[in-house]
Amino acid sequence: MSGLYHSPAVKNPTREELAKISDDLGLKCHPEEIDAILGHFIKGTSKALQRINDMVEPALPVKYPRTPGHRPSPSDNPFNAWYWCCDIQSGKKGKLAGKTVGVKDSIAVAGVPMMNGSKILEGYTPEFDATVVTRILDEGGHIIGKTVCEDCCFSGSSFTCSTGPILNPHDETRSAGGSSAGSAALVAGNKVDLALGGDQGGSIRIPSSFCGIVGLKPTYGLVPYTGAGSIETTVDHLGPMARTVQDCALLLEVIAGLDGKRDPRQPRDLTVPEYTKLLDAGIAGKKIGLLDEGFHFCKEEDVKNVVQTAALKLAQAGATVGHVSVPEHLDGETLWFAICVLGGYDCMIKDSGVGSLRKGHYATSLHEATNRGFTTRPYDLPISMKLTAITGEYVSRMYGKKFYAKGQNLNMLLTEAYDKALEKYDVLILPTLPYKATKLPVEGSSTSDLFENAFTMLHNTAPFDISGHPALTINAGFSESLPVGMMIVGRHFDETTVLQVARAFEKLK
């Protein structure tokens, strides 16, 4: 076989192509230097890349058989929330036996089409299961479909997905929240028992709040991100969404834990308690801190009142409820912008959803498909992503990574401020969102209105993505027939206390 012709992995550049790159980079290489660089590429670089191309990389396991499934018909697609229907089971009688599960379409399921809400990935089918998918199947979970998410997961509303808007089960004229919109709508609408979401700026908690379910963004690194599409590697989270705290804890128990050396987001000494066995320990003697700055952002007075009333009820379960101020919280979303929007542009668009400067497993087929999509059809991106791309490229050209780097440095101060408050209080409580579910935009909406709809609800959710603290939203009550979310934030890797407080509130409702 070695004598047979096969297409090279890399096309060698021409002198003219290298000269143009030199000019673009301002290097001003002389013709002799270009010739030498070309020779080095042909003799060294090209051979090295060909060798890497020919080698077999380690693959994520696909342990259980399945069929590709099918695209749902409109009549079988409540709330327009399913992207793809499937029927994948392991036959095992584990912790999730009898539970149906929806998987956000930013998370790979082998043999099932994956679109990440975007035409950029249209036609891509992964050949691997994300680690969280394998863990669900290992414990007997029944995966029945991929849930619709926002285009590239970059919107807090539910109107940017290329397959159409996802509708809120409480009022189908309103947003289901984003970006894990389909997961929240299907759980809230009793179409699936459990769902996986992803959260980089609030994308588990926003739709969970709008739809009135329980959604948990775990501590950064608790749940492996292996096999999911990345927005920015320092804020990537996967987590559970469910109708009850019990089921939320159960799914977390299954998906959390160290993934070998595949995910560098995870600490090496990570251990996972059995959350479900600790849920009902009670919260007598616990100290609850109402985060004053979190209430500052409320744009609707009823949201503030519902959350305050709900939090005060925890005193009935034996907790002490007081107020705490963390002034740094007011700048949390600003720092998130520098990290997640500017950094996300590099990771999502320039690095085609892979990120860089990290060890661990890379989903190379997902990278290739994303790169191909961004190269051939970037015009198909929604206005929310075009905003991110243009902003990110401009700042990058003018200032490099200055603001990203400074944002990461300032984030250490923000994280320390939360940690200091959590030395005094066991959890912090604040409204998940500044308002209830908004009306979906209608045809003819201005671009400014679309931006408003997509990005103005992140004040309280985004800061905990960059700080990495666990943050759970639970329905605090209703106003005008719409759910209002209450967010419970805990110490790093203390999901147990967060879940216990949520469970105590659930019992009081």
Q: Alpha helix (H) ranges present in 141-230? A: 181-188, 205-211
Could you tell me which of 162, 200, 196 has the C-alpha nearest to residue 348?
A: 200
Report the Cα 100 to chain-centroid distance in Å.
Answer: 21
Partner residues linked to 100 by β-bridges = 142
Q: How far apart are CA 140 and CA 313, in angstroms?
A: 37
- Asked whether 93 and 140 are in contact (CB, 8 A), the reply is yes
Q: How far apart are CA 20 and CA 23, in angstroms?
A: 5
Q: Alpha helix (H) ranges present in 41-158? A: 46-54, 131-138
Would you call 180 a catalytic residue per the annotation? no
Residue 332, token pair as written in the block: 């949390």
* Given 118, 180, 203, 208, the catalytic residue: 203
Residue 82, token pair as written in the block: 């399913």
* Given 155, 157, 179, 208, the catalytic residue: 179
Partner residues linked to 194 by β-bridges = 101, 242
Q: Rounded to the nearest 10 degrees, what angle do helices 245-255 and 131-138 cross at?
A: 110
Would you call 179 a catalytic residue per the annotation? yes
Report the Cα 328 to chain-centroid distance in Å.
Answer: 24
Strand runs (DSSP E) across 15-165, as ranges? Answer: 82-88, 100-104, 142-147
Would you call 445 a catalytic residue per the annotation? no
* Given 90, 95, 99, 104, the catalytic residue: 104
DSSP-derived pairing of the beta strands 287-291 and 427-431: parallel
Q: How far apart are CA 187 and CA 372, in angstroms?
A: 33
**Positions marked active-site:** 104, 179, 203
